[in-house]
């Protein structure tokens, strides 16, 4: 509808210029927007005010010329000039009413558009290191990432959801060593656990599993393990040096093959836990991409070679540095350490190049906002390889600050003091958790009060929306119980009976849904959908309290039932986009 109005206005403008009634001028994009106040009609256009300056004319005068030149169209009943020069359009009630038919015809397709033109988008989200279970901080990225993916799909993009598995690197070695040390303890040995190791309960579980499966295969004497290891921090040493030495010792004592077995035990256990967790949370993926595969296939080395050839790397103090400052980064970044190991950043360059080479039109990274400083160097690396950095979009998600009542909860994976995503899901439910996460815009800090979410979960807005859906279902159940039925065709033929103000509000609300989806998709803002659903639910509840649906006037009754059937459909569609269920009974 916006587009139709737009083209009418554009035609009139060009006609007026040709007729010499308006001076020749460059036409800006015509914007037609929904009004926020009903008294201003359904749509408004501000073009007259926008043009006033360049045309050197009074905006109301321009508006008046435009309005006079509009040809009559059947779907508009009133065109008015208001305020400083707005042109307000009022739709015919017949046009407004037909949205019900459209919703029911398109059903779960209602809201789909083709603005994505089938272009391919890759969305990478969560990608937490497999060094421990997902915690509530990851939940927001999971809910946001999959909601954005669903939105893009609705908008006509071809979407590929991906999880980047950091199954290589130092953090994984720390995990492997932590598992091994816990295993040694499980085998009856006494030791002082490194302060920088992973202390979570799941490490004990993996160690116990290891012992079950392999017996004493990996047992070495603790005396040997801690020989020639520099002091840990509590003993006045450096915790990083301490843990690195332990990793090296694990490698030499166990040998490469056995070390790899311990390493993989930790990796596969945690990764399968993460996969199950995300799946249960309703965040599904098309691909799990392994960092190790990039290293083992030599892609990382190739990329480094490519950058060397392009004179983008230089050697200093034994390390290889990437000249990211030449592309706007604050400082140059190391890609190969002096000990010969490639950095995480080197893998990431290779990974992003790989994404580009797979041919995605747009590559989206969903990152925690604490990684924002990372954006310039990744973009720099792509620029250095003559890639179009505009294809990469990084969406930052602020972490939810967790509260227990009024007390802030300290979060640390290493110390094992965190609330897992699984715990959250079990306590507040998947629907409430997902809805809560996407209720706020992603770039906004969010306070997540566990006590509130747990103890007063009935106050969560998700129930308000779901209840509206269940209520519609309930009406149809009631209808059946009374031996009556809903006749869709009859209802659609009687839509002109829907003239009450509550009905008009609902009709307008339904018509807005595709616009909301489009806006939410193009701006990567799923919270708009959550807010829309709350608005729609409110209008429905208000309507419910003001009018009866099952009444003696058969024609009106069928029209109303048809309307609320459409409401039910749109609630279902919207909740589905957010990964939230639409229960028939609550």
CB of 120 to RNA, least distance (A): 21
Give the closest residue to 65 by CA, choosing from 100, 107, 36, 23. Answer: 23
Collapsing DSSP states into helix, strand and coil, what is residue 286? coil
Q: Which is nearer to RNA, 184 or 299 (CB)?
A: 299
Radius of gyration of the chain from Cα atoms?
30
Q: Which is nearer to RNA, 210 or 243 (CB)?
A: 243
Q: Are 486 and 561 in contact (CB under 8 A)?
A: yes
CB of 21 to RNA, least distance (A): 21
Q: Which is nearer to RNA, 109 or 542 (CB)?
A: 542
- Helix locations, 282-387, DSSP H: 291-296, 299-309, 344-357, 375-384
CB of 190 to RNA, least distance (A): 29
DSSP symbol at 399: P
CB of 545 to RNA, least distance (A): 4
Q: Are 283 and 580 in contact (CB under 8 A)?
A: no
CB of 370 to RNA, least distance (A): 4
Q: Which is nearer to RNA, 326 or 330 (CB)?
A: 330
Q: Which is nearer to RNA, 73 or 334 (CB)?
A: 334
d(C-alpha 27, C-alpha 54), whole Å? 10
Q: Dihedral angle at the C-alpha atoms of 196, 201, 206, 207, nearest 10 degrees? A: 70
Helices and strands counted in the chain (H then E): 21, 15
CB of 482 to RNA, least distance (A): 9
CB of 19 to RNA, least distance (A): 24
d(C-alpha 307, C-alpha 56), whole Å? 55
The residue to which tokens 């230089």 are assigned: 314
CB of 530 to RNA, least distance (A): 9
Q: Are 538 and 75 in contact (CB under 8 A)?
A: no
Q: Which is nearer to RNA, 546 or 554 (CB)?
A: 546
Q: Which is nearer to RNA, 86 or 110 (CB)?
A: 86
CB of 242 to RNA, least distance (A): 13
Q: Which is nearer to RNA, 31 or 217 (CB)?
A: 31
Q: Which is nearer to RNA, 184 or 498 (CB)?
A: 498
At residue 21's C-alpha, the angle toward residues 15 and 24, to 5°, is: 75
Q: Which is nearer to RNA, 415 or 523 (CB)?
A: 523
Which sign, positive or negative, has the C-alpha torsion 500, 504, 505, 510? positive
d(C-alpha 61, C-alpha 366), whole Å? 48
Residues ≥6 apart with Cβ < 8 Å to 289: 162, 163, 164, 165, 351
Q: Which is nearer to RNA, 471 or 488 (CB)?
A: 471
CB of 168 to RNA, least distance (A): 7
CB of 217 to RNA, least distance (A): 28
φ, ψ for residue 142, nearest 5 deg: -65, -45
d(C-alpha 173, C-alpha 197), whole Å? 10
Residue-by-residue DSSP string for 232-259? PGGGTS-HHHHHHHHHHHHHHHHHHHHH
């Amino acid at each position: 509808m916006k587009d139709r109005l737009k083209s009418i206005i554009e035609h009139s403008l060009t006609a007026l210029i040709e007729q010499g009634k308006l001076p020749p001028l460059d036409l800006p994009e015509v914007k037609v927007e929904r009004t926020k106040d009903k008294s201003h009609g359904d749509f408004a256009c501000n073009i007259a005010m926008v043009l006033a300056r360049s045309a050197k004319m009074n905006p109301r005068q321009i508006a008046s010329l435009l309005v006079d030149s509009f040809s009559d169209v059947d779907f508009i009943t009133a065109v008015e000039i208001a305020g400083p020069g707005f042109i307000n359009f009022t739709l015919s009630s017949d046009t407004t009413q037909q949205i019900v038919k459209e919703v029911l015809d398109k059903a779960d397709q209602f809201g789909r558009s083709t603005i994505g033109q089938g272009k391919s988008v890759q969305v990478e989200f969560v990608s937490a290191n497999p060094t421990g279970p997902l915690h509530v901080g990851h939940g927001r990225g999971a809910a946001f990432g999959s909601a954005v993916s669903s939105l893009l799909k609705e908008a006509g993009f071809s979407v590929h959801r991906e999880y980047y598995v950091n199954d290589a690197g130092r953090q994984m070695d720390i995990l492997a060593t932590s598992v091994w040390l816990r295993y040694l303890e499980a085998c009856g040995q006494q030791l002082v656990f490194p302060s920088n190791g992973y202390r979570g309960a799941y490490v004990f579980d993996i160690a116990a599993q290891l012992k079950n499966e392999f017996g004493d295969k990996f047992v070495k004497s603790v005396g040997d393990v801690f020989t020639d290891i520099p002091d840990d921090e509590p003993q006045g040493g450096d915790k990083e040096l301490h843990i690195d030495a332990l990793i090296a010792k694990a490698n030499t004592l166990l040998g490469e093959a056995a070390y790899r077995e311990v390493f993989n035990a930790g990796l596969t256990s945690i990764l399968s836990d993460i996969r199950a967790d995300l799946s249960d949370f309703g965040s599904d993926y098309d691909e799990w991409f392994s960092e190790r595969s990039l290293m083992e296939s030599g892609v990382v080395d190739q990329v480094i070679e490519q950058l060397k050839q392009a004179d983008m790397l230089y050697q200093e103090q034994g390390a290889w540095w990437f000249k990211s400052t030449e592309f706007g980064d604050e400082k140059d970044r190391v890609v190969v350490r002096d000990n010969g190991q490639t950095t995480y950043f080197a893998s990431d360059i290779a990974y992003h190049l790989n994404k580009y080479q797979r041919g995605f039109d747009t590559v989206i990274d969903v990152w925690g906002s604490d990684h924002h400083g990372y954006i310039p160097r990744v973009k720099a690396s792509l620029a250095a390889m003559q890639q179009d950095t505009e294809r990469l979009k990084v969406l930052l998600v602020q972490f939810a600050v967790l509260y227990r009542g009024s007390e802030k909860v300290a979060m640390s994976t290493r110390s094992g003091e965190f609330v897992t995503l699984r715990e959250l899901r079990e306590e507040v439910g998947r629907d409430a958790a997902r809805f809560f996460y996407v209720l706020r815009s992603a770039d906004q800090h969010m306070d997540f009060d566990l006590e509130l979410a747990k103890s007063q979960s009935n106050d969560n807005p998700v129930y308000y929306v779901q209840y509206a859906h269940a209520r519609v279902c309930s009406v149809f159940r009631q209808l059946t119980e009374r031996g009556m039925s809903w006749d869709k065709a009859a209802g659609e033929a009687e839509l002109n009976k829907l003239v009450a103000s509550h009905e008009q509000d609902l009709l307008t609300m339904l018509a807005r849904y595709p616009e909301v989806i489009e806006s939410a998709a193009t701006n990567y803002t799923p919270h708009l959908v959550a807010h829309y659903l709350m608005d729609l639910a409110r209008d429905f509840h208000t309507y419910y309290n003001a009018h009866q649906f099952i009444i003696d006037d058969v024609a009106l009754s069928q029209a109303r039932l048809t309307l609320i059937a459409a409401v039910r459909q749109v609630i279902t569609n919207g909740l589905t986009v957010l990964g939230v269920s639409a229960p028939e009974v609550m």
